[in-house]
Amino acid sequence: MYEEQLKTEIVANWLNQKLLAEVAEWLRSEQTTAYEHPYGFTVIRIHRNLLSGWQVRVHLWPPKPEQEERQRRNATDEQQVHSHGWHLCSVVLCGALEEVSFRVVDDETSEQGLYLVVSDYATGFSRLRLHRSNVSAYETERSVRSASSGAYIISPSMHHTSMSAEVSWSLSLVATALANDVESTVIAPLSLGPTVLNARRCTEDLTQLYDLLRQA
């Protein structure tokens, strides 16, 4: 446990040292893959191994009203409470994000379930499979992260939501551990059925990305 904590703290310190200008150079010179996440933000995956044992990516967040509209369009607006199967470290480069943590408990009266998530980059879908019925999620902490906040860590199995906190565009630099410690999960309505497919869309946000990079 201590060793894993030390590794994530080293990665968080690495993220804290990165400036927008350096990230802009990566995106100009490195091979990348970009897509719109089902939750309404754009992911730009950097193919080169910049950090041993971790995958580095840039997240581009639209203004909060736009992100909420995309979630409604993608039918993911009721699937926001989720956990990752890996350690994730993130730092906001510009703008601001709202992070909310949750405690998930069994609740016989709830019409929500806990779904396991399998991502398939080859097909462009993430597949949700019902694992446990009748659970509820209760908010435990809420914070707004900005460029002055420094890097933060989201541990495996930590249920949370991540949303734009701005009426303008935001940019974050993210590192995800390649080792999957546990399965990723999503809290979603049982009315969705035993299996749900969420599609990754082609992003239309790269013009906004280049506009932000001109600040570097």
* Closest C-alpha among 200, 156, 163 to residue 178: 156
DSSP H or E stretch at residue 45 = strand 42-46
Is it the case that residue 216 has pLDDT exceeding 90?
no
- Give the pLDDT confidence of 68-120 residue by residue, as tens digits: 999 999 999 999 999 999 999 999 999 999 999 999 999 999 999 999 998 87
**Residue range of the domain that includes 57:** 2-213
pLDDT at 111: 98
Is it the case that residue 191 has pLDDT exceeding 70?
yes
Query: Could you give the number of structural domains in the chain?
Result: 1
pTM, 2 dp: 0.94
- What CATH number does residue 36 fall under? 2.60.120.10
pLDDT at 122: 61
pLDDT at 2: 44
Alpha-carbon gap, residue 161 to 102, rounded angstroms: 8
